[in-house]
Structure formats: structure tokens, C-alpha cells
Structure 1
Amino acid sequence: MSTATLAATTVPYAMPQLWRVLTKAGYFLGLSGAIGATFTYATTVRPALRTTDSGTENGAVLRGRSATFLAWAGVVLLVTGYLQLAARVARAGKGMPFSDALAPAQLWDFLQAPAAKGAWIAQGTVYLAQNIVLVMTAALLMALFTPAARRHADRLALTAVPLSLAVTLIGAVPTTAPTDLDRWLDITFDQLHVISGTVWFGGLALLVALAGTRSRLGTDAGLLWADQWRRFGFLAMLCVAVVTISSLWLSWKHVGAISQLWTTGYGLALLIKILLVAGLVTAGAFNQFWLMPRIVRARRADDTTSLLRLTLRHFPKVVWGEVALAVAVLVVMPFISGSARAEAGSPKAVSSGTVFAAGAALTLALAVSLFATARASDALARRQGGTAAA
């Protein structure tokens, strides 16, 4: 390719406007609260309460704080969803000032726009369905502000799980049928990335909020929290696996060479995100290899004082750091727009049998490494337990 041709095919990086950064980051914050908190409550908090601390004062405190967190998550989802819809209106067609796009009349006109030529459904109709489900999810969660609804918190939270997932899944419905496998894979991996990331981030935020109740918990709460951290550790590892696999696909689609990570605007933003996520994974590894074995040892020794200190003082401090990194990831995400390939004039990525084989090998290697991580953590716990007994 000649220099002239390369210059003609490059696409300059466009820095997002401030309102775009705030609305997109806010929207994913809202999704994290709705998807992550409800999913974590359903898979981690509720089972631990039912198994370890059902019907006790500790359980009542954590159920109450969970209901409050979920209710506020509904508020955040509703507000950020509205702002995200306005951002879409501001960017549609020839565009308009974001302040004008906030008007309900402008939103309604956007949602009622006819389908484009060749589309099986109008884009506005897809967003209308998405936002109807979003309002339903937010209303369901906000109902937890009322004492009557809190008596059915488990049922409401479990109902909100599929509804919150539907918010992002409906928004990803293509208005024209994808013509090749790559397009289907783009949609699939993008949604897997969003869901696993929001479950991970929202779950961290919920557990940090629950850890703030430690002054109101009894001395026997360490056992309950040990169970919760164990359950969430497994959930977080699954999220890390899905985030990693989906990231590999999406990065390959948009980055044509390693050097594009520091020579393009898209690549720089992606590189910062990768470093932040690496920090999250490192903190998770610290939990898995240092804190969890000590928690298991204290639990086996029936050392309630150490168990309480580890689960409600040391562990939350690390998780607070993870939450800060997660927020930073959300702030960086709006800057990952366009494509490093387009900026550098590289050809579009096209999948092949070799690409799929490499992806399968990487997936297998990741699964083996996560399995080895879990086994190593268990082995450390047994070794420390044996040393303490000796």
C-alpha cells in the first residue's frame, strides 16, 4: 500500500466530548449497579445468608443494607439510562446540542423514527423496548425503599436479575441481519464483556457497601462473611475469564499491531484500561493467595476474632481499592471509540480457522490457569492449617 493510499484510508481519533464521557461512564455505572448487585445478591449474599446466618440479627442487618443498595441502584439506573438515551439523540443524524437532546419531545421523536431502508426494525423501536425494560427494572428496585417491598426483597431481587440483563441485551439487537459470522461474534463477545464486567464491578461495590455494616454485626459474623467472600471469589474468577476471552476478540478486531497500543488514540485508551484491569486482577490474586487461605485457616481453627478481622477489615480494604480501579475503568471506556486499525490505516480483521484455533488454545490455557489458581489457593490453606496445627 502506497503512502498516499495509507493516508487516504486512515481515520483520525476523535476525542469524545465531556457530556459523552459522563453519560457513557454513568450508563455503565448504572448497569453495574443493576446487573452486578442483583446478580451478586442472588448468587453470593442470599445463599450465604440462607446457609450460614438465616434469621439472625446479622442476617437482618445485611438484608436491610442490601435492599437499600439495590433501591439506590434503581435510582442510578433510571437517571443514567435517561442521560444515555439523550446522548444517543444528540449523536443521531446530523446531531444536536446535548442540552437540546434532553427534551422529552426530542427523545420521543427519536424513538418514533421510521426504520432505515433495508432494516427489519427501526433503531428507535429497539431503544424504546430497551428503555421500557430499563424503567421496569428501576421501578422494581426502587420499590425496595418501602417496608412492604422489603419483606419480599429476595423475590424482587431475583426478578430484577433477568430484567437488568435484558436492558443491555435488547439494546444490542441489530436492526439489520448480520451477513457474516464475524458480526455475530462481535455482538456476542461485546455483550459477554459488558455483562461479565458489570457483574464483577457491581458485585464488588455491593460487598463493600455491606462491609460498612461491620459495627452493627455480632462477633460471629466472620463465618458468614467468609462464606460470602468464598462465593464471590468463584464468581469473580468466572467474570475474569469471560472478560479476558471477550477482550482478546474485541482487541484483535480493533488493534492490528502491538505498536498501535501507543501510537493511536484508541490504543492508548485501551492500554490504560488493560493496565487498570490488570490491577484489578492483581488485587484479586492477592485475595485468593494471601487472604483466603488465612480466612480458611481461621475458620478451621474456630478463631472468631481473626476471622472477623480478616473478613471485615483486611478483605474490604483490598476490595475498596478494586472498586476505585473499577470506577477508573468506567471513566476510560468512553475514550475507547473508533478503531486503532482505522487510525493506522490497517486492514480490517477477518477471522479464519487459524484465528479460531488460537482463540480455543488461549481459552483452554485460561481455564487451566484459573483451575490451577483455585487449587493453589486451597493447597495454601491446607498447608497453613497444617503448620498451625503443628
Structure 2
Amino acid sequence: MAWTTWVTLMGFVGLTALAVLAAGPAARRAGSDTLAAVTARLARAAVVLGLLAVPAVLTDLARGASETGGYDYRAAWNSLYDGSNDGRLSGLEVTLILVGAALIAPLTVRAVAAGPARRWLLAAGLGAGAVALGTTKFPDRTPDDWGRTGFETLMWMLHLLGGGVWLGGLIGLVLLALPGAVAPADRGGFWAPTIRRFSAAAMSCVAAVTLSGLFLYWEHVDGPSQLLSTMYGRVLGVKILLFGGLLLLGVFNQFWLHPRIEALRAGGDRRPLGTLLLRRFPAVVGTEVLLGLTVLFVAPFLHGSARNQAFQAGLAKHSAAVTDTLPKLAPKVAHASTWAWGTAETVLVIALMIVGYRISARLARRRGAAFTAAVTPADPGDLVEA
């Protein structure tokens, strides 16, 4: 149930962000018909995910509210806005995702999808969905340390929103690659700028997920050895491996597939290679989607902290006492060296993303120029002379 909740909430945010940041601007250049078709398809998928998020959240709450191990939906419904902080956050989560779906619902009609209200409805829906996703990690009680709690919340927001825009955007690209969204005559002018825009957004998401993940690793893990010696560490290790697979596929897209699609666009996209690449692109993106869904399946198993699990295991070896409350270590304290390392990591990750994006853009321009030169007809004078 936790997996379903994450998929629906993050998918809603990602599909809406794709329509705002990448697919919408590219479709507008291709023509009003393409803009209407692309927006309507993404809006329909986003509305479906937004509506499915409500029973997913309620079922998760019903499982926790049941005293018999079943699902108490009455108690789950009554817990929304029950006066507690948990109730307020759960109520906001359900309310805002419904508001987001309602705002985007008019865009499922093609006549509205290309109209002047399109941009405002998408922006408002994206804002509502982003806050609904954030409520899952907002603090449920007044913090003792506002600075630390605020920074932790910021890191979680980067982690969730970065993953949502990345994964949901990939789902949207797969949907747009299916027949009916983009006319064959407009594919060359649509896909290259869409992929390029999404590539920039995805690399920003990679930076956000990586940096926030490094902070969460520092907060919950005391060294690489705990990745093997604790349950939290082993689950985190699996998640890191899956994330690494996503990065490798992203590198393949960024430095091999995307530049060649740019080259096909420059050459008119009429050669058989164009069909090959446009078929391979959905397959690679589909594989990325499956890996991303697997990451979301693994993530709910991350409970507690590797630091506390290792600490509790050490105490259990030397004590036979049974207690209801397990002892926990105090939270880590950030020192000057911690901030120095964090700043260096941030600068390095951002620099790598910028350099990678520029290198891939340069490759695209070079291959586009080479492709255009290769398909340009020869000078008639040369043919006569030959």
C-alpha cells in the first residue's frame, strides 16, 4: 500500500511537471493540434493517478487504524482533520491531491487543453500535488530544533520532488510515445526539444536526489560497514544499486541516444535509423520506469536507522534484559567539517550535471551537422564531371 501511495502521488507530480516544463513548450511549437493532444493525454493520466491516490492513502491509514489486523476505513476517514497534527497532514494530503486532480480535469478535453487556461491550471495543479506529496514528510509535532527539522524537511522535499519529476516524467514520455499523441509529421519537431528539455529537468532531479540522499546517508548510517551488518543498510544498499542502474541508463540516453535523435531531427528524420532510434527510445525509457518503480517498492522497507540498529544489536549481545522501548543514539551533530564536506559535495554534483549537459549538447550539435552533411545531395557539377 505504501508503494501504491508513492507511485500515485509522485506520478501525478511528474506527469504535470512534464506537461509544464518539457512536453508543453515543445508541442506548442509543433502546432495547436499537437499541444491539445499531448496535454490531454498527460492530463488524463495525471487525473487517474490523482484519483487513485485517495483510496491508496485511505487504505494505508485504514491498515494502521485497525486493531484486528484488517482495514478500518471508518476510523481512517474519521482520522482526517481530527484535531491532531497527523490528522491535519493526512487530511491535507487527501484534499490537495483531489484539488490538483480537479484543476487538471478540464485539460482532459482537447478543446480546453490548448486554450489560454492551460498554463495556469497545470501550474496550480502541480503546486497542489507537490504540497500533497510533501505532507508525507512534514513534521507531525512542534520541533525542538527548528533549524535541523527545517533542513531535514527541505532534504526530504528535494528527494521526493526530484524523484517524482524524474519518474513521473519518464512515465509521461512512455505514454506520449504510444500512437495517437503526436502526428507522424510533427514527431521530428516535437521529440527532440521535448527530450532536451526533459533532460535538463532530469539532470536537476538527479542532483537533488543525490545531494538529499547523501545527507540522509550521513544522518542514518555510520560508515559503509553498516550497509552489510544492518537491515536498514542492506535495504539501502539495494536501493543504491537500483539508483545506480537508473543513472547508467540516464547516461546512455544523455550521451548516446539523445544526440542521435537531435541529429535525425536536423536531417529530416526520414532515414531508417530514425525509426530504429524512436523505437529504442521508448524501450530504454520503459526500462528506466521499471527500475524507478522498483526503487519505490524498496523504499518503504527503510525503517529506523542503521546507526540505531547497530547500537541496539551491540547492546543485545551484552544484556539479557527485555524492554518495551529500544534505546536510541542521539542525532548526529553537524560540525564545521560536516558543512565543508557537504558544500564540496554540492558543488561537485552540480558541476558534474552542468558539464555533462553541455557536453551532450555539443555532441548533439556535432552529430547533427555531420548527419546534415551526409544527407545533403551532391553538387550537380560534380555528378556531371564524374
The reply on whether 1:137 has 2:108 as its aligned counterpart is no
In the TM superposition, residue 303 of structure 1 has moved relative to its aligned partner by 3.5
CA RMSD of aligned residues (A): 2.5
Relative to structure 1, the CA distance from residue 308 to residue 72 in structure 2 (aligned partners, 3 Å threshold; closer, same or farther) is farther
Structure 1 distance, partners of 2:292, 2:233, is 19
- The match for 1:369 is 352
Gaps of 5+ in 1: 1-22, 91-95, 116-121
Structure 2 distance, partners of 1:387, 1:166, is 46
Counterpart among 101, 116, 130 of residue 72 in structure 2: 101
Structure 1 distance, partners of 2:358, 2:110, is 43
- The match for 1:125 is 88
CA contact (8 A) 1:280 1:322 kept: yes
CA contact (8 A) 2:41 2:181 kept: no
The reply on whether 1:163 has 2:146 as its aligned counterpart is no
Structure 1 distance, partners of 2:303, 2:276, is 41
The reply on whether 1:198 has 2:161 as its aligned counterpart is no
Which deviates the most, 174-183 or 249-258?
A: 174-183
- The match for 2:5 is 27
| Counterpart residue identity of residue 101, structure 1 | D
Map 1:1-390; keep pairs closer than 5 Å. Answer: 23-51=1-29, 53-56=30-33, 58-90=34-66, 96-97=67-68, 99-102=70-73, 104=74, 106-111=75-80, 113-115=82-84, 122-142=85-105, 154-171=119-136, 172-179=138-145, 181-213=147-179, 217-305=183-271, 308-309=274-275, 312-345=278-311, 347=329, 348-388=331-371, 389=373
CA contact (8 A) 1:44 1:228 kept: yes
Which deviates the most, 251-260 or 145-154?
A: 145-154
3-state SS of the aligned residue for 1:242? helix
- Deviation track 1:83-114 (CA, whole Å, cap 9, x = no partner) reads 23334535xxxxx2453422x2x124433555
In the TM superposition, residue 323 of structure 1 has moved relative to its aligned partner by 0.3
User: TM-score, with normalisation over the residues of structure 2?
Assistant: 0.83
Q: Give percent identity, aligned residues only.
A: 33
Relative to structure 1, the CA distance from residue 180 to residue 67 in structure 2 (aligned partners, 3 Å threshold; closer, same or farther) is closer
- Deviation track 1:312-351 (CA, whole Å, cap 9, x = no partner) reads 3121111000000011011101111111111101854221
Relative to structure 1, the CA distance from residue 365 to residue 358 in structure 2 (aligned partners, 3 Å threshold; closer, same or farther) is same
| Counterpart residue identity of residue 49, structure 2 | A
Relative to structure 1, the CA distance from residue 351 to residue 217 in structure 2 (aligned partners, 3 Å threshold; closer, same or farther) is same
Relative to structure 1, the CA distance from residue 215 to residue 74 in structure 2 (aligned partners, 3 Å threshold; closer, same or farther) is closer
Relative to structure 1, the CA distance from residue 299 to residue 146 in structure 2 (aligned partners, 3 Å threshold; closer, same or farther) is closer
Structure 1 distance, partners of 2:243, 2:96, is 30
Relative to structure 1, the CA distance from residue 97 to residue 29 in structure 2 (aligned partners, 3 Å threshold; closer, same or farther) is farther
| Counterpart residue identity of residue 336, structure 2 | G
In the TM superposition, residue 380 of structure 1 has moved relative to its aligned partner by 2.2
- Deviation track 1:226-246 (CA, whole Å, cap 9, x = no partner) reads 111111011000000000000
Q: Between Structure 1 and Structure 2, whose CA radius of gyration is higher?
A: 2
Aligned residues: 353
Relative to structure 1, the CA distance from residue 368 to residue 44 in structure 2 (aligned partners, 3 Å threshold; closer, same or farther) is same
CA contact (8 A) 2:81 2:90 kept: no
3-state SS of the aligned residue for 2:303? coil
Whose RCO is larger (CA < 8 A, sep 6+)?
A: 1
In the TM superposition, residue 60 of structure 1 has moved relative to its aligned partner by 4.1
